[in-house]
Structure 1
Amino acid sequence: MKKWLIPFLMSLSLMVSACGNASTPTPNNAGGSETNQQQATKTEEKPNANAEAKPEMITYQSENGPVEVPAQPKRIVGLTNAPNVVALGGTLVGIDEWTKKNPLFTDKVKDVEVVSDETMEKILALQPDLIIAGSWMKNLDKMKEIAPTVVYTWGKLDYLAQQREIGKLLNKEKEAQAWIDDFTKRAQAAGEEIKAKIGKDTTVSVFEHDTKDFYVFGNNWARGTEILYQAMGLAMPEKVKKDALGPGYYTLSLEVIPEYAGDYIVLSQRKGGENPFLTSETWKKIPAVKNNHVIVIDMEASTYSDPITLEYLLKIFKEGFLSQS
Structure 2
Amino acid sequence: MRNLYQMKNIERLSAGNDAHRRLIDSYTFIAAAEGRGELSIDGVRMLVDSGTVLFCNPGRMIEYRAAPGSGLLLDLISFRMFASPGQEAQPAGQAAYDERRSPWLPDGKLCPESPYRIGMLVKELRAIRSSDAGAEPFRQEMLLYELLHLLASGRRPDSETDIRPSRKGIELAIDYMHKHYREEISRDLLAQMTGFHPRFFSMLFKRETGYSFSDYLARIRIDRAKEQLLLTGGSLNDIARNVGYADGFYLSRKFKQVVGVSPTGYVREPKKIVVYDLVGHLLALGIKPLGASYNQGLRSLALLREELAGTPDVGYTSVEPMLQLKPELIIATDWLDRGMIEQLHKIAPTLVFHSGDPFERFKSLADILNRRREAEAFIARYEEKGERARAELNGLIGPDETAAVYEIWADCLWVMCESYGRGVYNLYKTLGFTPPAKVKRDVLDIGRPKKITLEELPDYAADHMFISVYPANGGAESAGKVMESAIWKQLPAVRRNRVYAIELDMIHSVDVLSLEKQLEIQTQLLKSALR
Q: TM-score normalised to the size of structure 1?
A: 0.75
Measure how far apart 1:73 and its partner are: 3.2
Q: Partners of 2:482 and 2:232 in 1: how far apart? A: 45
Consecutive unaligned residues of structure 2, counting only runs of 5 or more, are 1-39, 43-59, 67-71, 76-225, 240-262
**Does 2:488 correspond to 1:283?**
yes
Q: What's the counterpart of residue 252 of structure 1? A: 452
CA distance in 2, matches of 1:129, 1:186: 35
1:20-59 equivalences in 2 (<5 Å)? 59=229
Whether 2:142 is the aligned partner of 1:103: answer no
1:307 match: 512
Q: Which amino acid aligns with 1:92?
A: P
Aligned residues: 282
Q: Give CA-to-partner distance per residue, 1:66-90, whole Å, 9 cap, x none.
A: 9987423342111231221123232
Which one of the candidate residues 346, 350, 353 is aligned to 1:152?
353
Q: Find the partner of 1:297 among 502, 508, 517.
A: 502
Q: CA deviation at 1:218?
A: 3.4
SS at match of 1:113: coil
1:86 matched to 2:283: yes
1:268 correspondence with 2:468? yes
Residue 195 of structure 1, CA deviation: 4.8
Does 2:395 correspond to 1:196? yes
2:437 maps to: 238
The answer to whether the Cα contact below 8 Å between 2:355 and 2:419 also exists between their aligned partners in 1 is no
Contact 2:275 2:330 in 1 (8 A): yes
Deviations 1:156-188 (A, max 9, x none): xx1111222222233221111111123124314
Which residue in the other structure is 1:51 paired with? none
Inter-partner Cα distance in structure 1 for 2:448 and 2:408: 15
Q: Which amino acid aligns with 1:90?
A: I
> 1:198-217 maps to which residues of 2 (within 5 A)?
198-217=397-416
Name the CA shift for 1:61/1:177 in 2 (closer, same or farther; >3 Å).
farther
C-alpha distance 193-248 of structure 1, shift in aligned 2 (>3 A):
farther
Structure 1 residue corresponding to 2:270, chosen from 73, 77, 85: 73
Tell me the equivalent position of 1:42.
none
State the shift of 1:312 in Å: 1.9
Asked whether the 8 Å contact 1:78–1:131 carries over to 2, the reply is: yes
Output one character per residue of 1:198-255: Cα deviation in whole Å (capped at 9) or x when no partner.
2100111211112332111234431111111112221111121121122331111111
Corresponding letter in the other structure for 2:526: F
DSSP 3-state at the match of 1:197: coil
Kindly report the root-mean-square deviation, in angstroms, between the aligned alpha carbons of the 2 structures: 3.2
Are residues 124 and 218 of structure 1, via their aligned partners in 2, closer, same or farther at CA, if it must alter by over 3 Å? closer
**Which of residues 30, 41, 62 in structure 2 aligns to 1:2?**
41
For residue 13 of structure 1, the aligned residue among 73, 78, 84 is 73
Opposite residue 229 of structure 2, the aligned amino acid is: T
Distance 1:142 1:212, change over 3 A: closer
> Which residue identity does 2:350 align to in structure 1?
T
Paired residues of 1:93 and 1:113 also in contact (CA < 8 A)? yes
What secondary structure, in the 3-state scheme, does the structure 1 residue paired with 2:451 have? strand
Q: Say if 1:75 and 1:92, in contact at 8 Å, map to a contact too.
A: yes
Partner amino acid for 1:199? G
Once structures 1 and 2 are overlaid, which stretch shifts more, 143-152 or 297-306?
143-152
Alignment of 1:161-200 (within 5 A): 161-191=360-390, 193-200=392-399
The 1:84/1:168 distance shift into structure 2, 3 A limit, reads same
Quick one: structure 1 residues 125 and 13, their matched pair in 2 at CA, closer, same or farther if it must change by over 3 Å?
farther
Compared CA separation, residues 181 and 194, structure 1 to 2 (3 A): same
Contact 1:278 1:284 in 2 (8 A): yes
For the residue of structure 2 that corresponds to 1:295, the secondary structure is strand
Alpha-carbon distance in 1 for matches of 2:354, 2:432: 26
Cα gap change, 1:178/1:110 in structure 2, threshold over 3 Å: closer, same or farther? closer
CA contact (8 A) 2:405 2:467 kept: yes
Report how far residue 266 of structure 1 moved.
Answer: 1.0
Residues 90-139 of structure 1, C-alpha deviation per residue, up to 9 Å, x if partnerless?
23222224351222233433433333575234332211111112346325
Could you tell me whether the CA contact under 8 Å between 2:233 and 2:368 is conserved in 1? no
Matching of residue 221 in structure 1 with residue 429 in structure 2: no
Alpha-carbon distance in structure 2 between the residues aligned to 1:212 and 1:93: 38
Structure of higher CA gyration radius: 2
Contact 2:402 2:464 in 1 (8 A): yes
Q: Deviations over 1:278-318 (max 9, x none)?
A: 12222122111111111111112222222321122111222
CA distance in 1, matches of 2:438, 2:308: 40
Q: Given the superposition, is the C-alpha separation of residues 222 and 142 from structure 1 closer, same or farther in structure 2, using an over 3 Å criterion? A: closer
Give the distance between the partners of 2:449 and 2:340, measured in 1 at CA.
Answer: 29
**Structure with the greater relative contact order (CA < 8 A, sep ≥ 6): 1 or 2?**
1
The unaligned stretches of length 5 or more in structure 1 are 16-56
Q: Give the Cα–Cα distance (whole angstroms) in 1 for the partners of residues 388 and 462 of structure 2.
A: 22
Q: In 2, Cα distance between the equivalents of 1:144 and 1:188?
A: 41
Q: Distance in 2 between matches of 1:260 and 1:222?
A: 18
Question: Higher mean Cα deviation, 217-226 or 231-240?
Answer: 217-226
Q: Which letter does structure 1 place at the counterpart of 2:513?
A: I
1:112 and 2:282 correspond: no
TM-score by length of 2: 0.48
Q: Structure 1's 91 and 259: CA in aligned 2 closer, same or farther, altered over 3 A?
A: same
